Amino acid sequence: MNKKAFAAVAVFFLVIFGTLLRSITNFSEVVQNVSGIATDFYSTYVVAFELLSLILVGGIIGMFYITSREED
C-alpha cells in the first residue's frame, strides 16, 4: 500500500474513533417521534431530501456504468 493510501486509511479510522468516543461520552436518551421526522422530511427539508435521492440514484447509475464497461 502506498503512503497516500495508508494516510487516508489512518485519517479515516482516527475520525471514526474520535466520533465514537464523543458519542459515548455525550449519550443522552432521546424520545423518537416518527411522525415529527416525516413531517420535517416532507415540509422543512423536502428540497434536501429530493436532492439526496437524485445524488443516490446518480451514484447507482454511475456504478452500473463503470462496472459494465468492457476492458480493451
Boundaries of domain holding 43: 32-72
Q: pLDDT digits over 16-48, tens only?
A: 888 887 766 656 677 788 888 888 778 888 888
Res 5 pLDDT > 80 = yes
Tell me, yes or no, whether 56 and 24 share the same domain.
no
- Residue environment code for 2-38, b if the CB has 16+ CB neighbours within 10 A, otherwise e: eeeeeeeeeeeeeeeeeeeeeeeeeeeeeeeeeeeee
Does residue 49 share a domain with residue 64? yes
Q: Do residues 37 and 19 share a domain?
A: no
Handedness of CA 17, 18, 20, 24 (dihedral sign): positive
User: What is the rounded CA–CA span in Å between residue 58 and residue 51?
Assistant: 10
Verify that 37 and 67 share a domain, yes or no. Answer: yes
- pLDDT value at residue 45: 83
Q: What is the mean pLDDT of the chain?
A: 83
More confident call, 72 vs 55 = 55
pLDDT at position 72 is 55
- Tell whether pTM > 0.75: no
Return the pLDDT at 59: 94
